Amino acid sequence: MPVSNNLSRREREIMEIIYELGEASAKEVEERLPNAPSYSAIRATMNKLETKQFLAHREQDLKYIYYPTINHADARSTALQRLLKTFFDGSASQAMSALLDISRDRISKQELDELKQLIEATKRSKEQRSKK
């Protein structure tokens, strides 16, 4: 499990690239990174991510290939929990309200229907658990 959940902006960008590719060398990350720093800075950041236990590596043809140590869904869940706690006092409704506010012009009726279904399913699940 990662040592720290606090990642810098650059570390998060690198992790997103590696999640997208599944695994990557520092050169592959450099090619996809916006406003990429030097190759050695990317390698240093990837080594730091490895020290923090977000990445591991294997050797292939004299280069390191990095891969994530936790799956993307788990990382996303951890990040969302931290976001809820930090900015919304742990309140899912406050977060949803903010998301709907900033998406008001772009959210489709289908997405709203999906959200409604998720809310109803969560209500039913909570009611069933409280009856036990």
Task: For 103-132, write each residue's pLDDT tens digit.
Answer: 999 999 999 999 999 999 999 999 888 887
30-42 residue pLDDT tens: 999 999 999 999 9
At residue 106, the pLDDT reads 93
Average pLDDT over residues 38-58: 96
- Which tokens in the block code for residue 117? 């279904």
Q: Is the pLDDT of residue 48 over 60?
A: yes
Note the pLDDT of residue 3: 54
C-alpha distances out from residue 53 to 2, 15, 43, 70, Å: 5, 12, 15, 9
Report yes or no on whether pTM surpasses 0.85.
Answer: no
Handedness of CA 106, 107, 108, 109 (dihedral sign): negative
Provide the token pair at 26: 């520092």
Yes or no: say if 70 and 2 are a contact pair by the CB < 8 Å rule. Answer: yes
Q: Which amino acid is at 116?
A: K
pLDDT-derived band at 5 (thresholds 50, 70, 90) equals low
Paired tokens of 39: 């190759």
Q: Is the pLDDT of residue 90 over 60?
A: yes
The 3-class secondary structure across the chain, one letter per residue, is CCCCCCCCHHHHHHHHHHHHHCCECHHHHHHHCCCCCCHHHHHHHHHHHHHCCCEEEEEECCEEEEEECCCHHHHHHHHHHHHHHHHHCCCHHHHHHHHHHHHCCCCCHHHHHHHHHHHHHHHHHHHHHHHC
Q: What is the pLDDT of residue 129?
A: 87
pLDDT band at 71 (very low <50, low <70, confident <90, very high): confident
